[in-house]
Chains A and B, each alone.
Chain A
Amino acid sequence: MSFNATRPNLLAAPGVAWLMAFMVVPCLLVLSYAFFQRGVWGGIDYTFTLENFARVADPLYARIFLNSARIALTTTVIAILIAYPAAYAISRAPRLRQPILLFFAVLPFWSNYLIRTYAWIVLLNREGLVNNLIRSLGYTGEPLSLLYTEGAVITGLVYNYLPFVILAIYSTLSRLNPELMEASRDLGAGPVRTFWRVTLPLTLPGVAAGGVFVFVLSIGNFVTPALLGGGRFQMVGNLVYDQFLTANDWPFGAALGMALIATMIVLLFAQARATAHASGEGRGEAA
């Protein structure tokens, strides 16, 4: 490993080539489909059109988009509200124990997504554990329909993405300079005020990073709505899935995919800008 100018590029070349060939080119290809017409037999008719984008804005589909955005936003807010206290508690645990706690908080995130979603079918169905629990507490009416509801979809999404939000928030909390909090306390602010005025503002970049991630993954999700929503809750992900696998309207599916990617890029940029802004501000305050 001598550090001349060409070797790094040579080392990176195979990986870059793979990503270009099997990520960038396929994505550009499918996005280009959005500008063509659907063929009579479901293929692509290479005639330029903007009709697919007009259809994305059609009230029928725009409503699904907005509905997905609402579900994704609810998921994001709930995930942050649970993850913040958890990340805070981990960051206050003894130093040596923090990595272990963090590891076990994140472990479920790396395990099978389908299985984690399936676990909620087991818990929420009419004969499921939650219904049994309610019955054992003295409830005698009809079993509650908990599964195949919007609540079930949101619960599943929060459950699946919570570990990542904990990780994102913890990483900003652990980098926080404790002297800032001490200074605030020394200057007479109570613990609550210190939290609201110092700790929370300085950890907002982590909250934003985790939040954007959950939002993007939730809005494009199709497994959770299909399994926990019983197919009754169409989200953008399901719509894309349908266009490619059942309706065979690839150009429209591509336009929907493009809308998803656009949403993601806008949010990531906004988050990056906000983070750069906040860290600049934080440094200013610390100095």
Chain B
Amino acid sequence: MSGQTTMGAMTAAPPAAGATVPGVFRRRLPGRIVLLLVFGFLYLPIAVLVLLSFNDSGLPTSWSGFSTRWYVALAGNGDILRAAWNTLVVAVFATLISTVLGTLLALGMETRRRKSNGLEALAFAPMVIPDIVLAVALLSFFSRLNLTMGLHTIVISHVVFDLAFVCSVVRARLKNFDYSIVEASRDLGASGWTTFWRITFPVLLPAIVAGALLAFTLSVDEFIIAFFTAGAGRSSITLPMQIYSMIRFGITPEVNALATIVMGVSATALMISQWLNKEQVR
């Protein structure tokens, strides 16, 4: 669904304004064509997937009428339901831990007197390190410690990159933070603790929630690291792992429905996150 609505918004929006002035229109026309093509490239594959998930026959070859039967089939698939539950458990715990750690890290980094290059590199690394390297590193680490792997090891691993993203979102907010209100609060006699909860925290809250939503989405969608740190057995399979094993063997209509739901959830979380970020800038 999200794919279609966003597509509609993208293609419908541009011609609305400026079209009354021919000169402006002509000058903007090449840009519009470029945007139309690029957004078409980005959203068409997703839109096709969403459409197919409502195709009664489930085949990509022909449209045989609207149907929600593939969604009903999903609800009856025990493997998928368990994978969805596992994903939710992992994402909730990873989000909670990384939001707290990431926010504190951001506060620590932004209130330092001097920028520390080591700290900057440490907080930046999880965002650029190839997934496969982090995945095999964590697999080696957990097996070296003889730790039984499962959902808890996925949570530990997801916090690594989640906290880096939360940290960067909160830091962006702190960069525009007016520290004079903190000083004012202190001058008026409030303690550091009171000042934090009454001044700093409310101002930062939208960024913290935006960061948490981003962390949640990243965790829900993450496949490679979860795959390596889930351990043996089917009990700790997450949704992306389930999807991977299903799509390796070609197209099944159920995957289309599942993909539509997962993308809908991600897109919603991201739009809320973005909206919160925009609200606070104003």
Q: Are A19 and B126 in contact (CB under 8 A)?
A: yes
Residue in B30, B108, B112 whose CB lies within 8 Å of A15: B108
Residue in A22, A86, A132, A220 whose CB lies within 8 Å of B130: A220
* Interface bits A92-114 vs B (CB < 8 Å: 1, else 0): 11100101110111011011111
Q: Distance (Å) between the CB of A89 and the closest chain B CB?
A: 4
Residue in A24, A122, A217 whose CB lies within 8 Å of B45: A122
* Interface bits B100-143 vs A (CB < 8 Å: 1, else 0): 11101101110111000001001101101111111011111100
List, in ascending order, chain B residues with CB within 8 A of A3's CB.
Answer: 111, 113
Is the C-beta of B73 less than 8 angstroms from some C-beta in chain A? no
Residue in A33, A104, A257 whose CB lies within 8 Å of B6: A104
Max chain A Cβ within 10 angstroms of own Cβ: one of B42, B43, B128: B42
Alpha-carbon gap, A121 to B224, bound state (A): 19
List, in ascending order, chain B residues with CB within 8 A of A268's CB.
Answer: 128
Q: Are A237 and B132 in contact (CB under 8 A)?
A: yes
List, in ascending order, chain A residues with CB within 8 A of B123's CB.
Answer: 15, 19
Interface 9-mer from B64-72, B76-84, B262-270: B262-270
Interface 9-mer from A50-58, A59-67, A123-131, A180-188: A123-131
Max chain B Cβ within 10 angstroms of own Cβ: one of A3, A12, A82, A128: A12
Q: Are B132 and A1 in contact (CB under 8 A)?
A: no
List, in ascending order, chain B residues with CB within 8 A of A97's CB.
Answer: 13-14, 17
Residue in A118, A240, A250 whose CB lies within 8 Å of B247: A118
Q: Are A8 and B60 in contact (CB under 8 A)?
A: no
Max chain B Cβ within 10 angstroms of own Cβ: one of A22, A29, A217, A223: A22
List, in ascending order, chain A residues with CB within 8 A of B163's CB.
Answer: 15, 18-19
Q: Are A8 and B111 in contact (CB under 8 A)?
A: yes
Q: Distance (Å) between the CB of B205 and the closest chain A CB?
A: 15
* Interface bits B157-169 vs A (CB < 8 Å: 1, else 0): 1011001100100
List, in ascending order, chain A residues with CB within 8 A of B17's CB.
Answer: 94, 97
Is the C-beta of A222 less than 8 angstroms from some C-beta in chain B? yes
Q: Are B192 and A1 in contact (CB under 8 A)?
A: yes
Q: Are A113 and B221 in contact (CB under 8 A)?
A: yes
Q: Are B109 and A8 in contact (CB under 8 A)?
A: yes
Interface residues in A137-172 by Cβ distance below 8 A to B read 159, 162-163, 166
Q: Are B49 and A30 in contact (CB under 8 A)?
A: no
Q: Are B108 and A115 in contact (CB under 8 A)?
A: no
* Residues A88 and B119 in contact in the complex (CB < 8 Å), given A5-B113, A240-B136: no
Q: Are A108 and B42 in contact (CB under 8 A)?
A: yes
Q: Are A115 and B130 in contact (CB under 8 A)?
A: no
Q: Distance (Å) between the CB of A149 and the closest chain B CB?
A: 16
Q: Distance (Å) between the CB of A225 and the closest chain B CB?
A: 12
Alpha-carbon gap, A241 to B13, bound state (A): 44
Is the C-beta of B26 less than 8 angstroms from some C-beta in chain A? no
Residue in B46, B48, B112, B192 whose CB lies within 8 Å of A108: B46
Is the C-beta of A13 less than 8 angstroms from some C-beta in chain B? yes
Alpha-carbon gap, A127 to B157, bound state (A): 39
List, in ascending order, chain A residues with CB within 8 A of B10's CB.
Answer: 101, 104
Q: Are B49 and A118 in contact (CB under 8 A)?
A: yes
Q: Are A114 and B244 in contact (CB under 8 A)?
A: yes
Q: Chain B, interface size: which category?
A: 35 or more
Alpha-carbon gap, A89 to B33, bound state (A): 9
* Residues A30 and B136 in contact in the complex (CB < 8 Å), given A108-B46, A114-B247, A217-B130: yes
Q: Chain A, interface size: which category?
A: 35 or more
Alpha-carbon gap, A61 to B218, bound state (A): 32
Is the C-beta of A260 less than 8 angstroms from some C-beta in chain B? yes
* Residues A22 and B31 in contact in the complex (CB < 8 Å), given A105-B42, A115-B243: no
Alpha-carbon gap, A87 to B59, bound state (A): 36
Alpha-carbon gap, A244 to B224, bound state (A): 13
Q: Are B137 and A29 in contact (CB under 8 A)?
A: yes
Q: Distance (Å) between the CB of B145 and the closest chain A CB?
A: 10
Q: Distance (Å) between the CB of A73 and the closest chain B CB?
A: 16
Q: Are A244 and B247 in contact (CB under 8 A)?
A: no
Is the C-beta of A69 less than 8 angstroms from some C-beta in chain B? no
Is the C-beta of B28 less than 8 angstroms from some C-beta in chain A? yes
* Interface bits A199-219 vs B (CB < 8 Å: 1, else 0): 000000000000001001100
List, in ascending order, chain A residues with CB within 8 A of B270's CB.
Answer: 107, 110-111
Q: Are A86 and B34 in contact (CB under 8 A)?
A: yes
Is the C-beta of B195 less than 8 angstroms from some C-beta in chain A? yes
Q: Are B159 and A11 in contact (CB under 8 A)?
A: no
| Residues of chain A having any CB pair with chain B under 8 Å | 1-3, 5, 7-16, 18-20, 22-27, 29-31, 33, 82, 85-86, 88-90, 92-94, 97, 99-101, 103-105, 107-108, 110-116, 118-123, 125, 127-129, 132, 159, 162-163, 166, 213, 216-217, 220-223, 226-227, 237, 240-241, 244-245, 250, 253-254, 257, 260-261, 264, 268
14 A–B contacts, CB within 8 A, in A order: A1-B196, A8-B109, A16-B105, A19-B164, A22-B156, A23-B134, A30-B136, A100-B13, A108-B46, A111-B266, A114-B223, A118-B247, A129-B48, A261-B130
Given contacts A118-B255, A260-B133, 17 further A-B contacts (CB under 8 A): A1-B195, A9-B112, A14-B101, A16-B122, A23-B137, A29-B140, A82-B38, A89-B34, A92-B31, A103-B274, A104-B6, A105-B38, A116-B45, A125-B60, A163-B42, A223-B223, A257-B133
